[in-house]
Amino acid sequence: MRGRNLTRMALGMLLLACCVRLAAGADATVTRTPAGNGNGAAARLPPPPPGMFVPPGRAITHVKGDVYRANNGGWYVGILDTPEGLLLVDTLSVPFATWLKDELAKKFPGKPVKYVVLSHSHWDHTEGGKVFADTAKFIAQEGFLRNMDGRYPALPGDIVDRNSDGYLDVPEFEQPSQLRPWYCGAGGNTVSSKDRNGDGRASPEEFFADTPRPDIVYASRMTLRFGGKTIDLVFPGKNHANDGTAVLFRDERVLFTVDFPADALVQGSMRSLPSACGPFDGHSMDEWIKSYRTLESLDFDISVGGHGTAPFTKQDLAEGRLFMEYLKREVEGAMSRGMTLEQMKKTLMLEPYREWRHYEQLREWNIQAAYDNLKTYK
């Protein structure tokens, strides 16, 4: 069963990286429709980036103090144990949340889930909350509600409503993955699995059918005192998502983040080039840099989150910011010298980052994303 669950997860996942990179949880398949096809024909994918879907299976693991994580392959949720009950960060999917509820009852008997923090409105992390709706209140940044207001939701991975019809169509998810499989876009089953009325597309309402609406929202920061613990919820700014929440477990000095700064390409090291879809998921590089600085300003010892097999330090986060600042500076300089994008791709080698993961696959894409971003957000 463990191998089958992982295979199914890898399939329907968002191929993304900057975070979304896609994964629909444990409920997908390994083949996808060819991008832009949408006729159900199977397509062979190249091998995924090493480590994207590890560790296999599902388990609850200890982080520090009363903080734990539970994983569905390479996707994680946070767990805080208190005398008054449990707090979760995300729920991933209905099948995973159902499994998790049973496991929590065994590991923490008699302790219901009282709060679920929704890290951001991307489906691969926040579906499945209805499993805990009998006992839990849901908390999110206020942008989460705006993304559920009936319009096309904000999504990563260069997934946009390309025909402006207000629906999520299979080709709109698959086209980015045709160009960059496993880094951008998503499988067509992400749409078809949500198509409740069988019209071949998913409305925003269908898309969010398994995502709970927050009971409590906040703007920039919120402090929750629960079970003798203090939990800070922080909106770092617009980066991978426009409604993200970082969770600081103050007593344990553990920071829990999801998809930013560690996306699905990150495993044991933060030294991984961003997937740079969007470009940069439709948010300015200055906003990304501000988001890094916001997290760096928090008082924590280690950072874990929705991706990554190891705990990270504040210095690891700083390296991500330094990369973004370096990339912005290099591309801005080249633009000021009148270089074309193609000239930049040939000459800007991003030499200090040659040893980072995905350098060969993503160097040129990061240059193009920075170029497009700087032209758009002047």
Looking at the chain, list the stretches that DSSP marks H as alpha helix, in order from N- to C-terminal side: 2-12, 94-107, 123-126, 143-146, 170-179, 189-192, 204-207, 285-296, 314-336, 341-347, 359-376
257 phi and psi angles, rounded to 5 deg = -130, 155
Residue 191: closest CA among 92, 133, 239, 123: 123
Q: Which two tokens stand for residue 151?
A: 């319009």
- Cis status of the peptide bond prior to 204, with omega within 30 of 0: no
Residue 38: closest CA among 188, 177, 205, 176: 188
Other beta carbons within 10 angstroms of residue 340's beta carbon come to: 11
The tens digit of pLDDT for each residue in 40-75 reads: 334 567 788 777 778 889 999 999 999 999 999 999
Q: What is the pLDDT of residue 59?
A: 98
Q: 2-151+211-314 adopts what CATH topology?
A: Metallo-beta-lactamase; Chain A (3.60.15)
Q: Which two tokens stand for residue 203?
A: 């409305």
In a structure prediction context, what are the per-residue pLDDT tens digits for the chain, which is 378 residues long?
Answer: 333 333 333 334 433 433 333 343 334 322 233 333 334 334 567 788 777 778 889 999 999 999 999 999 999 999 999 999 999 999 999 999 999 999 999 999 999 999 999 999 999 999 999 999 999 999 999 999 999 998 877 888 999 888 989 898 999 999 999 889 989 998 888 899 999 999 989 999 999 999 999 999 999 999 999 999 999 999 999 999 999 999 999 999 999 999 999 999 999 999 999 999 999 999 999 999 999 999 999 999 999 999 999 999 999 999 999 999 999 999 999 999 999 999 999 999 999 999 999 999 999 999 999 999 999 998
CB 312 within 8 A of CB 262: yes
Q: What is the pLDDT of residue 151?
A: 82
46 phi and psi angles, rounded to 5 deg = -65, 165
What b/e sequence results for 197-215 when a residue is b if at least 16 CB atoms lie within 10 Å of its CB, and e otherwise? Answer: eeeebbbbebbbebbbebe
272 phi and psi angles, rounded to 5 deg = -145, 125
| Separation CA 336–CA 315 (nearest Å) | 31
The tens digit of pLDDT for each residue in 3-25 reads: 333 333 333 443 343 333 334 33
Q: What is the pLDDT of residue 44?
A: 63
Q: What is the pLDDT of residue 49?
A: 79
Q: Give the gyration radius of the chain's Cα atoms.
A: 20
| Separation CA 336–CA 235 (nearest Å) | 33
Q: Read off the pTM.
A: 0.89
14 phi and psi angles, rounded to 5 deg = -65, 135
Q: What is the pLDDT of residue 16?
A: 40
Q: What is the pLDDT of residue 93?
A: 97
The residue ranges of every structural domain in the chain are 2-151+211-314, 316-376
Q: What is the pLDDT of residue 43?
A: 52
Q: What is the pLDDT of residue 7?
A: 34
Partners of residue 222 on adjacent β-strands: 233
Residue 96: closest CA among 122, 135, 57, 134: 57
Residues 6+ apart with CB under 8 A from 290: 236, 237
Torsion of CA 129, 132, 137, 140, to 10 degrees: -20
Query: 85: part of which helix (H) or strand (E)?
Result: strand 85-89
